[in-house]
Structures are given as C-alpha cells and as structure tokens.
Amino acid sequence: MSRYTAAEIEPKWQQAWESAGTFTATRDDAKPKYYVLEMFPYPSGNLHIGHVRNYTMGDVIARYKLATGHALLHPMGWDAFGMPAENAAMTTGVHPKDYTYGNIAQMKAQFAPLGLSFDWSREFATCDPEYYGQQQALFLDFLRAGLIYRKKAVVNWDPVDMTVLANEQVIDGKGWRSGADVERRELGQWFFKISDYSDELLTALDGLDNWPAKVKLMQSNWIGRSRGLQFAFSLVDEPEGHDRIEVYTTRPDTMMGASFVAISPDHPLARQLEDHDPAVATFNAECRKGGTTEEALEKAEKRGFDTGLRVIHPFDTAWELPVFIANFVLMDYGTGAIFGCPAHDQRDFDFAIRYGLPIIPTFLPTADADPVLAEAYVPPKTETVAYVKGFAGEKMQTGNAAIDAAIAFCEANGVGAGVTRYRLRDWGLSRQRYWGCPIPVIHCPDCGVVPEAKENLPVELPYDVTFDVPGNPLDRHPTWRDCTCPACGGKAQRETDTMDTFVDSSWYFARFTAPRATTPTVMDDAAYWMNVDQYIGGVEHAILHLLYSRFFARAMHVTGHLPEMAIEPFNALFTQGMVTHEIYLTRDASDRPVYHLPQDVQDGKLADGTAVTVIPSAKMSKSKKNVVDPDAIIAQYGADTARWFVLSDSPPERDVEWTAAGAEATSKHLARVHRIASDIAAMDDGTGPGDADLTRAMHKTVHEVTLGIESFGFNAAIAKLYAFTSTLAKSDAGGAGRKLAARTLAQLMSPMTPHLAEEVWAMLGGSGLIATAPWPVANPALLTEDTITLPIQINGKRRSEIAVPVDMPKDAIEKLALADEAVIKALNGAAPKKLIVVPGRIVNVVI
C-alpha cells in the first residue's frame, strides 16, 4: 500500500496542471466567464501565513468555478511601488528596484509550491515601466478630462530632515528619524476630483448586492452626505478684506444657542491676523505642530485663541459673539469655520467652560428641566421628543424635521441656504518620493505646467540615484529633471513628485484583462472579462482602496478605457480576516522598541534569556516582526496540509491567531483520506448492504460542501468533509459505491487540497484531471430524511422528543406531542395555554 507523501505528489500534479495549461485564461464564448481576484500583494520578500490564507481562499473559488464549467481568469501580480523599498535603500544601500525585483522573485518562488491556480502568463508588477507608463497615459487622459487639478495641501514636514513624512513616520508628533517636532506645511499637489463623484459613489453602493453590508456602511459614512445650513456671520469691525465669516452647520436648530465662532488656524482670516499679530502667529504655529491625521487632530487638547474680533448673530443685531481661532476646526471640512453651541455639544461645552463663554440651552429634556447644564445635552437626532426654544421665540420639537424647518426658516429670513455637503475630500496623489510612478508633467518657465507628450511615455525612473540624504533623490538628480518643454521646446524641468501607490492599485484589475497591451486597456478584452466576479481581500482596504478603485473605474470609463458596464468593477466582495500573532518586544538603550520574530522567542524569552514584552495579537506586519513563515510548514507537511489548515481553522471573514498546533492533525487526516482511498481502490466492484446510506450521505455532503464554498463557509464545509470521511471509512457499501463516494470526496476536497485530490482521483480511475472534471451535482430527492426527531419544549425548555415522518401534518404532531409522557406529566390534567408547532423544527408547549 502506498503512503501519503506530499513531497512526491505535489510537484507531480503542479507539473501536470502546468503542461495541460489548466489555469491559462482562455476566452470561450460557449462558457460563462468568471474573474476571481485576490488583492495583489506588496512584495515584501516573504510570503507569510496570511498570504497563504488569502490566496488559498481565492484558489478554492477559482478551482470550484473551473470545475463548474467557467472560462476562468485568475491572475496575479505585484503592488510593487512604495516606501519599504526606499527605507531598505537608506538602511542597507540596496537600490529600490533591485530590492523590489529581488523580493518578487523570492515571493514567486514561495508561491510555486502552494499549487495555486494563477495564470502567471498575465503577471506584472506596478513598477514595470510597461505598467506605469500606461498609468501615466491614464493620468494625461484624466488631466485632459478635467479629473485632475492642482492645489495646495498640508503635509507632515520634518524641519530637521527637511523632508515630507508619511503619517506612519510621525510617532507621537515627532519625526521617526530626526525626532524633531513635526509641522504641518502646505505644498502644491495634484488631486483627483473624486468629490465630483461623491453622490454617484454613494448612491451606487445600493446596487452592490454582493458586498458586505459593513463595507457599504463604512464607505457611506466615509463619503458622509449631510444636509445643513450655510450662512455667514457679519464681522463687527471688518479687518481688511473680510466682512463676514461663512459657516456650515448640520445643526441649524441650535443656532439660538450659539455663543462663539471658531475658525481654523489655516482659515484665510487667521492667516491674515497672524501677519499682523505675533501672538496669533505663535498660537497658529503651535496649532500646526503635530501630524496631519484626523485622529491626532481630534485627540489633541482643544485650545482656542480669542482674536478680539466680534460677529453679529444673524437673528439679533444686538447679539455679538466672540471669534476664536481653534485647533479643532479643520480647514479641509466645510468652510473652515463653525459656530459653537456649548449647551448641545460636549466639545463646545468644554470649550465654553475653559474660556468663560455663555451656555445657552435651546432644548431641554423636559419643559421643567434645569436650564443650568452640568454637561452638554445632546437631543435625539431622529426622534422629536425634546422641549425646544426655537427661532423668534416659539417652541418647537427637535429631530430631522426640526432641522429642515430651521433651514426653511433661515432661508425665508434671508439667512443662508440649505446645502448638501460631503465629507469626502479630493484625493491627493502627489508624493515627494522616488519609488513610485513619475507624474508625467513638465514645469516650463514660460508655459507653466505642461503635460508630457504621450509618445514620450513612459517617463522612466532613472536608476542612478542615491539615498544617502533624506528627501526625494529625483529632486537632486543631475540630469533627469532637465528636459525640453513639449509645448515651446524650451528648457524646462520635470515634475519630481511621484504618484500615491493607491493609484497603482486602482486599475490593476482592469489591466489584467489585457496585460501586454500598448494602451492601458483593450476595450474588447475588458468587455469580455470585466467585472471582477469575486474580489477577495483584507477588510483594512474596505474604504480607501475600494473607493479609489470605484472612482477610477468611472474615470476610466469617461476617458474611454473601460466600458460602462465596468464602472462598478467588483461584482462581489469578500473581506477576509487577518492572520494575527502576538508581538514580542524589547527596548534598546535609548528605549526604542526592538521587535523579535516568533521563532526567536521561547516561553517569553529570547535565546539569551532576555524576557520579552508580549503585546496581544495584532495584524501581522513586517515592521513588528510578528510574522509566521509558511515555508517550514510546507516543507514538513506539504502545501495541501497548509491550505486545509488555514481554511479549516476559523471562519474566513474573521481574524485568526496563528498557532503551530493543528498542522499535525491536518496532515494525519489527509493521510487517512489517502489510506481509505487506496484501500477502496483495491476492492472489487459490487454492491453491499450500506449502498443506500452511503449514497444518501454522499449527496448530502455534495450539497453542503457546494453551498459552503459558494457562501465562503470554508470551515463549515471542511467539517462536513471530516464527517463524510468517517462515514466512508465505516461504510459497508459495496466496492462500486465506495469508489464513487471516494472519487466524489476527492472532488469536493479538490479546491482545498488539489494535489491529494488529483492523486486519489487517479488512484480510483477518474478520467483526466480532477481540476477540470465536472463538479458533482446533488440529487435533491436524496437530501431529506423520511423521519425526523422533533424536540418538545415545555415553556421554552427542551423536555422530550418525538420521532415523526418528515411530512406529518401539524395537527397530527400536536396530538402526538400532547400524548408525550413528559408533556402529560407537566400538564397534570390541565390544558396547555398555547401549543406552538413549527413543522420540521420544534414543538413548544406553554403551560
């Protein structure tokens, strides 16, 4: 009897698929097409167990769709631009290009033994000039179509290294290398006009039936449509060029409770004041310290500066309000100015206490409540329950209706206008970095900003750069910057900013439909393969990547690069959980964190006995070193074991904490399947007493596993396969029946453990490759039992059970239930208060 040796069978079948071209995407009009895509990886150089889980899931879907008769597209590529390559260049001196392509080669080699059904003939990396050149072509088309523009935007500025920092590089408000206090500084940048699509991107979410509700909700909140009032406060003493302050509020019903106006330190008025008043300049400079993230801004201590300016309340010319500059007002949102209503907003309440401002309630929980508040009273948004001091002295109720009424009242009285606003901001794509797609424009002293001519694309990154000083090496490259203006032919300079790597990943799915084309896409191929039928990736991409891709698909349609049917590029989305692991940490002499790999930690200690701090499970990341290397598991047990284990261990949408235990058990199970199959292969054909039972169990399993795969219930499907394996092992069916059952088992396992499945299939005389054998179909007649056990509850607690024919009518079940011994005893002669019979489910006797 042969033994299960993964190391022998796995390369053999990988070779067989390769030479048969099993997974080469081929257009075939006789079949439905299916495009399955997993979010492509950043080539860190090391495949970790999270990748294995992610790509195995996609592989299961891909193999299942192939077996159910689809023309399959299942491509793979590399999201290859980004900061890590530049960081490596700075720390180890390796060139980002060599680093990246080296990592790609290494990771591709790690992918090979997993037996994934990728069509490698379509592979590309986003750092291939053939790819980013087409991205530059898209940029030029978008620019021409008015989808890209230039404006100033804030960045994190390291005043010591004189360089722009990513949010990740700002730690507690300080630069990660210099340790200097980071400042917010404005820079001219390129922007995609994604805000033009706010409403479209929001309403189109409704059509995404096969997207997780939580992702649609997150996107919806991110876009953040709000209805509010925009109006202006008149300034009492008008500083030069300013006679009013425009504000936007979603709570116009609280206007009568206003007690101050606050403007952003970046508001034009604040900037003007700072030019004349050193105290304002000092305050504003203080406000500009720290990083640019919304989190940092929101968590910062709320501070204000009284400008001494006063404004007039629009409904009472005698009512003057002070104007503060406040660090919590953001120039990017609304108008960069707000009015504060301390009575009904906790942040404003705290601010009012701090600066001695009045707290004027316009609503109270009840008509007789104390109007002196101890904390802000936030009235319910949707219900109309509170007592309200409304406009012009009358009382009204709160809620959305009141907000609408407030807008109407203000409009009628010539105070502002109701407007719809979106939280979504335009997408800044400029990055002051080397390792990205160069922005193909030229700055000409005579013509200004001039797009590069398409025939000059790709604008390739120069190789001869150095990373010995901070900043973008393109800025100090001796010759690359110099060029001729495409418009006037005079001397000019290239833009040295490169594109945000989110641009790279916003259209790669479209590029896979024609990866070698000399245009970004080919309409005919895009029309055939798009959309992605199933997209799979981490929930951490639920907002930005997916929103940007949805925008890009629309922009590509507008510029003639995608058909209209592809403007929502992902038909179905599955967000898989992350593989997490504990983080092991020590501190160096200057108290900086030093991370350690799990393999270097034993019982909470390093090899030299140093105790490590254990941080609870977190997303695996290279920088935190909490990664698990799948190579060792594959070497010891084989790919099928690794694949089965990552799928069986927990539901795919949930995070899973990796533990080494369990791989051994999986390996034993696969060996058991192999052993059972070889025993069955040796049997003579014929019938046996267990034929009917085995057939029934087989059809049930086909049904359940098929449903499990289609609904991403991989762990539950695997549980059914365990159960069926035991059934088969114990069956006394004849050889013919058992061979069929074993072949079917192999087919059902084939998406998860493709190599073992092929081996078993061949052993049992299956024809051709199991990968392309038609998927088994369950006979519906064999899926139901003749008799079922019905639990009987008394007052909702299970007390007994009865066996009934599956189609027994309700009244017959009632009679049978009332005749049950436990029920008779509980009733004690009395009639039940209520008798609930749910056919096929349960009986509940209420006493």
Query: Please, which of residues 489-518 interact with RNA by CB under 7 A?
Result: 500-502
Verify binding: residue 42, RNA, rule CB under 7 A. yes
Interface with RNA (CB under 7 A), residue from 68, 456, 650, 772: 650
The nearer residue to RNA, 335 or 793, going by C-beta atoms, is 793
Rounded distance between C-alpha atoms, residue 188 and residue 235, angstroms? 31
Pairing outcome for strands 613-619 and 579-587 = antiparallel
Residues 217-246 within binding reach of RNA (CB under 7 A):
217-218, 221-222
Verify binding: residue 796, RNA, rule CB under 7 A. yes
**How many positions of this chain bind RNA (CB under 7 A)?**
96
Residues 570-599 within binding reach of RNA (CB under 7 A):
578, 580
Verify binding: residue 151, RNA, rule CB under 7 A. no
Residues 809-838 within binding reach of RNA (CB under 7 A):
834, 836, 838
Residues near 437 by beta carbon (within 8 Å), at least 6 away in sequence? 81, 126, 132, 135, 136, 498, 499, 503, 504
The nearer residue to RNA, 314 or 630, going by C-beta atoms, is 630
Contact 431, 461 (CB under 8 A): no
Give the interface segment with RNA, choosing from 362-370, 483-491, 591-599, 709-717 (CB under 7 A): 709-717
Q: Which H or E element spans position 309?
A: strand 304-313
Rounded distance between C-alpha atoms, residue 396 and residue 385, angstroms? 10
The nearer residue to RNA, 566 or 845, going by C-beta atoms, is 845
Contact 258, 358 (CB under 8 A): no
Pairing outcome for strands 33-38 and 71-73 = parallel
Residues 182-221 within binding reach of RNA (CB under 7 A):
187, 189, 213-214, 217-218, 221
Q: How far is CA 653 from CA 152, 206, 412, 579, in A?
A: 40, 22, 51, 11
Residues 375-434 within binding reach of RNA (CB under 7 A):
423-425, 427-428, 430-432
Residues 154-183 within binding reach of RNA (CB under 7 A):
155-156, 164-168
Verify binding: residue 519, RNA, rule CB under 7 A. no
Rounded distance between C-alpha atoms, residue 155 and residue 207, angstroms? 36
Interface with RNA (CB under 7 A), residue from 345, 649, 758, 820: 649
- Smallest distance from RNA to CB 242, Å: 27
Interface with RNA (CB under 7 A), residue from 540, 685, 785, 807: 540
Verify binding: residue 690, RNA, rule CB under 7 A. no
Pairing outcome for strands 387-388 and 170-171 = unpaired
Closest CA to 536 of 50, 206, 46: 50
Verify binding: residue 841, RNA, rule CB under 7 A. yes
Give the interface segment with RNA, choosing from 241-249, 251-259, 292-300, 304-312 (CB under 7 A): 292-300
What are phi and psi for residue 422, nearest 5 degrees?
A: -125, 145
Verify binding: residue 665, RNA, rule CB under 7 A. yes
Interface with RNA (CB under 7 A), residue from 527, 671, 782, 818: 671
What are the start-end ranges of the E strands in 423-467? 427-428, 430-431, 441-444, 448-451
The nearer residue to RNA, 16 or 788, going by C-beta atoms, is 788
Closest CA to 746 of 712, 772, 770: 770
Residues 339-358 within binding reach of RNA (CB under 7 A):
none
Rounded distance between C-alpha atoms, residue 582 and residue 724, angstroms? 35
Interface with RNA (CB under 7 A), residue from 180, 719, 802, 818: 719
Closest CA to 232 of 342, 321, 313: 313
Phi/psi-derived region of residue 591, left when phi > 0, alpha when psi is between -120 and 50, beta in every other case: left
- Smallest distance from RNA to CB 672, Å: 5
Residues 615-634 within binding reach of RNA (CB under 7 A):
616-619, 621
Rounded distance between C-alpha atoms, residue 432 and residue 190, angstroms? 11
The nearer residue to RNA, 84 or 598, going by C-beta atoms, is 84
Rounded distance between C-alpha atoms, residue 223 and residue 667, angstroms? 47
Interface with RNA (CB under 7 A), residue from 2, 420, 687, 726: 726
The nearer residue to RNA, 358 or 796, going by C-beta atoms, is 796
Residues 77-96 within binding reach of RNA (CB under 7 A):
79, 81-84
Rounded distance between C-alpha atoms, residue 65 and residue 71, angstroms? 8
Count CB-CB contacts under 10 A for residue 339. 25
Tokens coding 385: 């329950």
Give the interface segment with RNA, choosing from 138-146, 171-179, 199-207, 720-728 (CB under 7 A): 720-728
Interface with RNA (CB under 7 A), residue from 26, 795, 807, 815: 795
Closest CA to 504 of 104, 191, 83, 79: 79
User: DSSP for 287-299?
Assistant: HTBS---HHHHHH
Give the interface segment with RNA, choosing from 264-272, 440-448, 563-571, 667-675 (CB under 7 A): 667-675
Verify binding: residue 295, RNA, rule CB under 7 A. yes
Query: How far from chain centre, in Å, is Cα 843?
Result: 44
Give the interface segment with RNA, choosing from 92-100, 246-254, 764-772, 794-802 (CB under 7 A): 794-802
Closest CA to 55 of 136, 117, 143: 117
Residues 461-490 within binding reach of RNA (CB under 7 A):
none
Verify binding: residue 606, RNA, rule CB under 7 A. no
Give the interface segment with RNA, choosing from 261-269, 602-610, 789-797, 809-817 (CB under 7 A): 789-797
